[in-house]
Amino acid sequence: MNTAAPSTSTLPNGPLLGRLANPKRFLALSRWLLPLSAVAAAVLLGAGLYTALLASPADYQQGETVRIMYIHVPAAWMALFTYVSMAIAAFTGLVWKHVLAELYTRAVAPVGAAFTFICLTTGSLWGKPMWGTWWVWDARLTSVLVLFFLYIGYIALVDAFDDEQKGLNAGAGLLLVGAVNIPIIKYSVDWWNTLHQPAGALSLTSSTVDKSMMLPLLLMAAGFQLLFVALACLRLKTEILRRRMRVRQMGAA
């Protein structure tokens, strides 16, 4: 009987998925992807901040406070994007035991938590002049706060076990259960009466956003996305090297 471990060709989508999940190939990829994405993020964020703070006009209703949008909205998008990518990676890690997918969730969790914190903080700053209060238990705000707690809960849970694999599996379970919060965040302004503006007002395809405001918003969104890529590469590279060192230490013991 052949008891050899299955090759990467037995994985879904054939050997391609196996190649993408190979830590050695990722490290080779990150050697050029990390600096490239970091430089591109710096350029786009610099251009975005210039157009957002200096070139774009003030809003006729919100005045200068509308400039908070250029940070708040991309941070919100990235908070959701990061969690969805973590949930997909968690499912992949649980089902197909992809080491890189498991390490990815652990690596980017603090990045997603940071984006969510920025979203909540800028939302509070934006809400004060618009609503007259720093915080309300609005459906959108509350569900985003739950998202922040999910990030923090995941970070704490994966480190709560002496066995790293058990921690990763428990964290993956939390991510998959918490994924139900994503559609709640997305559609909360449609399902309930809230103070938060409708999603369409901040949609990329919405005609309510003037073209002069759309350009800096898109620049900031692209900059945030590339910043995420750079941070994900850096942190995932660190996680891979950390695991290698731990394996070597266990082998030498």
Dump pLDDT digits (tens) for 203-212: 545 546 777 8
Angle between helix 211-252 and helix 23-50 axes, rounded to 10 deg: 150
Mean pLDDT of 207-227: 88
Could you give the dihedral angle defined by the CA atoms of residues 43, 229, 81 and 117, in that order, rounded to the nearest 10 degrees? -70
Task: Name the residue with tokens 């708040």.
Answer: 72
Residue 160 reports pLDDT greater than 80: yes
Residue 198 reports pLDDT greater than 90: no
**pLDDT score recorded for residue 251:** 74
**pLDDT score recorded for residue 154:** 98
Mean pLDDT of 161-175: 95
Element (H, E) at 220: helix 211-252
Residue 249 reports pLDDT greater than 90: no
Percent of the chain residues past pLDDT 90, beyond the cut: 64
Integer Cα distance of 121 and 114 in angstroms = 10
**pLDDT score recorded for residue 17:** 53
Q: Report helix, strand or coil for 41.
A: helix
pLDDT (tens digit, 9 = 90+) per residue, 102-151?
999 999 999 999 999 999 999 999 988 888 888 888 888 999 999 999 99
**pLDDT score recorded for residue 123:** 93
Mean pLDDT of 200-204: 50
Backbone angles phi, psi at 46, to 5 degrees: -65, -45
The DSSP result for 58-94, as a single string, is PBTTTBGGGGGHHHHHHHHHHHHHHHHHHHHHHHHHH
Number of other CB atoms surrounding residue 169 within 10 Å: 16
Task: Name the residue with tokens 């652990």.
Answer: 106
More confident residue, 204 or 234: 234
Helix, strand, coil percentages, rounded to 5, for the chain: 80, 0, 20
**Least reliable range by pLDDT among 59-63, 155-159, 168-172, 198-202:** 198-202
Predicted TM-score (pTM) of the model is: 0.88
**Least reliable range by pLDDT among 4-8, 78-82, 225-229:** 4-8
Contact status, residue 174 vs residue 150, Cβ threshold 8 Å: yes
* Confidence band for 59, pLDDT divided at 50, 70 and 90: confident
| Interior angle at CA 164, CA 163 and CA 167, nearest 5 | 95
* Confidence band for 4, pLDDT divided at 50, 70 and 90: very low
